[in-house]
Structure 1
Amino acid sequence: MPGLHVNWTGPYRAGLRRHRDRALENGPYTMPVEEILTCVHSAYAWRAFHGGVALVTDELGASYTAAQGLDVLYDRVDTRLDDLDAMDVDPLLYFAAGKIYTARLYAAPFAVVDTDLYLRAPVGHLGRGGFVFAHWESVGNAVYPPPEEVPRPAGLELSRWLFDTPAANMALSVFLDDRHRAEYAEAAMAFMTGNAGPSAAEPIVRQTFAEQRLAPAVARSLGVDLRPLTDRFWVVETEEWDGPSHAGRFHHTWNQKRLLRQFPELRPAYWRYLLEDLLWNHPGAADLLPSVPALAGCADLVHAVRRDLAAHGPSVLDWKTA
């Protein structure tokens, strides 16, 4: 099962043009340490469980990946996301449009795995077909309002799709049915194109609709089986989990990244957690990490984790009992 990482730098480049002072203060394009660590783990885990991994990106993303020495993670680097620049898709509203466009480029079966998610176990029953995604999320809230309340281009008709499920979190998206893949990609691209006008809706609403509402709606209309990787359910209204733990199946840093932006002093502790998980399960990554320039600031931590794992195993890695 081919795995794809997608890195579209369009949102960064759009920010540079539209908010020049802020972008200059933030410096050149980069990925934070925690996302590099999860990206490495994601590629190692997918390769161990399911096979090859490719990167779908643009020229800036490819240049950054090569400069960091992270291109060795991939069987190939595809830069066709540069084509999105010529399309009327707002990269600040549709920050994950690169993933949707990727679904237009590749025929099923394949999996899109976010660079901030890594597997701890293989995805089961891939031979059953259907559409596999990370987990369900609640709808009928500010993030996922009713479909009729979501801004859309004039004349775009969505009535053929069946919006009778929760939202499908697509940090992992395994497309096993090619008709679903193709019709979802076209529906989402049609929804995003030219759809950036002013709206009272929360800015995230259009992105989450294009991705996490449309994919299951198209599947339901086509009779394609919908299968979450875990029964864990994210309750948007309270920002809490409901149901059995997913920790043994995958780790996703989405919520942690929000906390780290608010409390940056927690970063070294979280880096240690990620390093223990990576190096305990994929010790071969130890040869790559010291050569990544963006990880120079945590080189001592990498060395300490390697030493401690060799001496007594993990000390903060407790996901098996979570």
Structure 2
Amino acid sequence: MNRRDVEFPGFDGLTLRGWLYPAGPNRPCIILTHGFAGLKEQFLPDFAGHFQAAGYGAMVYDHRHYGSSDGTPRNHTDPILQARDYSAALDYVSLLPEVDPAKVIFWGSSLSGGVAIYAASIDPRAQGVVVQCPFPSSESLVTDLKEPIRKAFADRAATTTTAGQEPAMIPASPYASTTPRAAKEASMVADPDIVAYYAELDRRNIPRGSRVTMQSLLGIAGFEPKAFIGRISPRPLLMILGALERTIPIDLQLRAFEEAGQPKQLHLIQDQGHFGLYHSKGFKENIEIQLRWLKEVVGV
């Protein structure tokens, strides 16, 4: 597996950074980003490496405000801007000799699964979409996190009216830290399935990236990729879910799939939850499904 560092301008010119995994000249290319609060180091190289070995190029990059990419405040999520950055990433790879610009696939996971859906719905150049455990709608979020969202609006008011006021931070998950204070704070991901995910990150000495701005809730609370999923057709869609999904209501994911047009494929991986798709046994089955689909859609 070989890769090289890359940087390119995001949709508004902000510098985004990542890795390119070339597979030869004029190859299909998969553009990958991580989910909520995720960093490119967190298992995405495993996916990109398998794609590369099968003859597909891949580019992995950190979202704006995260990891090696620019943007302040740090650890802030805006899914609409992230979606526009997918198009900027496509602009960039389309100029590379290693990439066939007519065979670029958007890939997303969890929140970035929703971002990839939305991005492809408005950018006809994306030739297909792969999403695993995607975020399809904020329908349940605005109910479950009503009070934290109220606090996020108050925090936004404070940071926009008070000079030097830093945005409040919250843990991405109560399991991201072992401190009692963190366990009591509002968070986005309360699924205990993330414990094994964090344990595997720790085993590999990969940072967890455990805190995000409270104001990230505001952008996510109004994000509805399910409303746009039908626009992907007639380009192909692959959706992969863990049958034990608990982070995102699986009924919302299934409803989103129903609203997608053909051609589309849905795969449920048994005995796996949201985070099992990234590593161990769940990853093995997951990547095999994705490679079969890619061969059908863009060949090698």
Short-chain TM bin:
0.3 to 0.5
| TM-score relative to the length of structure 2 | 0.37
Return the index of the structure with the highest Cα Rg: 1
Larger strand fraction of residues: 2
| TM-score relative to the length of structure 1 | 0.35
* RCO higher in structure (CA 8 A, sep ≥6): 1
